[in-house]
Amino acid sequence: AVKPMNCPGHVQIFNNGLHSYRDLPLRLAEFGCCHRNEPSGALHGLMRVRGFTQDDAHIFCTEDQIQGEVADFIVMLQKVYADFGFSDVLVKLSTRPDKRVGSDETWDKAEAALAAALNQNHLAFDLQPGEGAFYGPKIEFTLKDSLGRLWQCGTIQLDFNLPVRLGAEYVAEDNSRKPPVMLHRAIVGSMERFLGILIENFAGAMPLWLSPVQAVVMNITDAQSEYVENVVAELKKNGLRAIADLRNEKINYKIREHSLQKMPYLLVAGEREMQSGQVAVRTRKGEDLGSMPLQTLIERLRGEVESRGGAA
C-alpha cells in the first residue's frame, strides 16, 4: 500500500491482540517506505522527495513510562549522531498549543517527563511554548553540519490522540481498559535526506567506515597485476571494501583520478613492493605514508573502521 506515514499501521498491529499493562512498553520499529505528493517546486535532490524511507518506531506505554522511554531514546540517538560525526546537536522542546486534546493534568505530566528525560541526559534545550502538536508535546533534534547549516532530523513526539481514535487499549492494573500513550520516534527521519546531509557535511569525502570503496590498489606495470589482485582479495577477506585498478595508464594519472573521486586510501604496488610483500600507501588528502606490510595496513584500516574514525 502507498502510505504517507507508518503510524496507523503500527496501531493496527498493537490492536491485533489484547495487551496487559505488564506488556508495556511495547515497541514497534520499521524502515517504512512512505510517499507524499509534494509540489514539484518543493522537490530538491535527496532533501525533499516524494518517496522516502523513515527509520520509524512507535512505543506504546503508560504515562509513568514516558520519561524512561524518552531517556533511553536520547541515549541511542546521541550514539548514532556521534558515529556519524555530529557532535553539535540543538534540542528544542515544544509544549502545548492553545487548541489541543487531553487534560491539562496529562499535558503537565507529559511535558515534565520530556524535560526530565533531557535533564537526565544533561542536554540543554530551548523551550518552544505553544509549538507542540495538538495531540502532544515533542522534542526535536537539529544537526549542525561542517558549514554551520542546520538540519532538523530526530524527533520524539507524544500522541494522546491516535490510540483513542483507532481504538487502542490495554488492560490496566485495576482491570479497566485504558488507551496507551503513543511515542512516535525517529533518529534520522528520512534516510534519503540524511544521506544528502552526510554528503553535504563531508563534501563527498565520507569517513572510512561509510565509504562505498575504502581502498583502491594500483599496479605500475602489468608485472604486478597478479600481486594487486592478491592484495585486493586479502583486503576483502578482512572485511574491507577494495578494488583493483589494472588499467594501462601512468600511475600518476591513476592517483590523481582516484584522489578526485575522494577514495580514502590509494595503494600502489610496484616491483619493490611486490618483492617485499608491501604496498605504498597514500591518503586522499595527499599524505604519503610510505610502504608498509599488508598486515600492518589491514590492522590500521580495521582499527579506523571500528572506531568510526574520520576520513583519512
Q: Is 138 a catalytic residue?
A: yes
Cα–Cα nearest to 184, from 262, 104, 73, 105: 73
The answer to whether 7-202 and 208-306 have equal CATH topology is no
Q: Is 184 a catalytic residue?
A: yes
How far apart (Å, rounded) are the C-alpha atoms in residues 32 and 53? 5
pLDDT value at position 106? 87
Q: Can you read off the three cell numbers belonging to residue 11?
A: 496501531
Q: Is 19 a catalytic residue?
A: no
pLDDT, tens digit only, all 312 positions of the chain? 788 989 999 999 999 999 999 999 999 999 989 999 999 999 988 988 999 999 999 999 999 999 999 999 999 999 999 999 898 899 999 999 999 888 888 899 999 999 999 999 999 999 999 999 888 999 999 998 888 889 999 999 999 889 999 999 999 999 999 999 999 999 999 999 999 999 999 998 999 999 999 999 999 999 999 999 999 999 999 999 999 999 999 999 999 999 999 999 999 999 999 999 999 999 998 899 999 999 999 999 999 999 885 544
* β-pair type (26-35, 288-293): unpaired
Edge-to-edge, what's the strand order for the sheet holding 138-144? 26-35, 51-61, 181-190, 150-159, 138-144, 89-94, 126-128
Name the catalytic one among 3, 10, 104, 184.
Answer: 184
Name the catalytic one among 10, 96, 100, 138.
Answer: 138
Name the catalytic one among 55, 56, 159, 245.
Answer: 56
H-type alpha helices, the chain: 7-14, 66-83, 104-120, 162-165, 191-202, 225-237, 251-260, 271-276, 294-306
Q: Is 44 a catalytic residue?
A: no
Name the catalytic one among 54, 78, 157, 278.
Answer: 54
The residue type at 13: I
Q: Is 149 a catalytic residue?
A: no
Cα–Cα nearest to 254, from 226, 228, 291, 290: 228
Domain map (residue ranges) of the chain:
7-202, 208-306
pLDDT value at position 88? 87
How far apart (Å, rounded) are the C-alpha atoms in residues 231 and 269? 9
Q: Is 36 a catalytic residue?
A: yes
Q: Whole-model pTM?
A: 0.87
Q: How many CA atoms lie less than 13 Å away from 287 in the CB half-sphere?
A: 8
Q: Is 58 a catalytic residue?
A: yes
Cα–Cα nearest to 265, from 222, 298, 234, 293: 298
Name the catalytic one among 22, 33, 50, 58.
Answer: 58
pLDDT value at position 312? 44
How far apart (Å, rounded) are the C-alpha atoms in residues 26 and 62? 10
How far apart (Å, rounded) are the C-alpha atoms in residues 71 and 92? 15
Name the catalytic one among 3, 12, 36, 261.
Answer: 36
CATH ID of 208-306, from 3.30.390.10, 3.20.20.60, 3.40.50.880, 3.40.50.800: 3.40.50.800
By three-state DSSP, how is residue 252 classified? helix
pLDDT value at position 115? 95
When computed from its CA atoms, the radius of gyration of the chain, rounded to whole angstroms, is 25
Architecture of domain 7-202: 2-Layer Sandwich (3.30)
